[in-house]
Amino acid sequence: MSRLFLAVWPPPEIQAVLEELPKPTIPGLRWVDPTNWHVTLRFLGEADPDAVADRLERAELPKARAALGPKVAQLGRGHLVVPVGGLERLAASVRDATAGPARQPDGRPFTGHVTLARLKSGSIEIAALFEVAIAAGFDVCEVALVESFPLADGARYSTLRSWPTV
């Protein structure tokens, strides 16, 4: 068993756009390493990678166009994100395909986003960061099965396999 999720990795030109966003040093705010930027389509938790792969081999993953923006936002209490639209149908296909080997869905709707930073406990003033506009997009060509390795300074991710969108 491994800690897994299914994701879309932004292409280099989108990573470059994200890297241009301001990243001020603010106590309590930890910026995500750019190599970890992704859009989670479905978090699987502890699951068997082979069982997930078997399901995805038979799945039809629809092509999608990811649209970033319109501005940086806060998601929940502790995540600074760039919203990503256009992936709802793809995320639903991934959810349906992996219903067996994955943990049960928690009932929350899919909310596409790239996490830029995480807040440590406590409140800090980050409202100014929400005014940063962003408008970019990319065609999604594949879905990746990613293993997560939690570490003290943030998780590390490794793509185990990927499947093309059709």
Average pLDDT in the 85-93 region?
97
pLDDT of 127 above 80: no
Work out the pLDDT band at 106, boundaries 50, 70, 90: low
CATH number at residue 45: 3.90.1140.10
Counting the structural domains of the chain, the total is 1
Contact at 8 Å (CB) between 114 and 68?
yes
Contact at 8 Å (CB) between 5 and 148?
yes
Between strands 64-68 and 136-140, the pairing is antiparallel
pLDDT digits (tens, 9 = 90+) for 29-50: 889 999 999 999 999 999 999 9
What does the pLDDT read at residue 146?
Answer: 98
pLDDT of 103 above 80: no
CA distance 15 to 34: 7
Contact at 8 Å (CB) between 101 and 55?
yes
Mean pLDDT (the chain) is: 90
CA distance 128 to 59: 42
Average pLDDT in the 80-104 region?
88
pLDDT of 76 above 90: no
User: What is the domain extent for residue 152?
Assistant: 2-164
Average pLDDT in the 121-149 region?
84
What percentage of the chain reaches a pLDDT higher than 70?
A: 91
pLDDT of 124 above 80: no
Element (H, E) at 156: strand 156-164
pTM equals 0.92
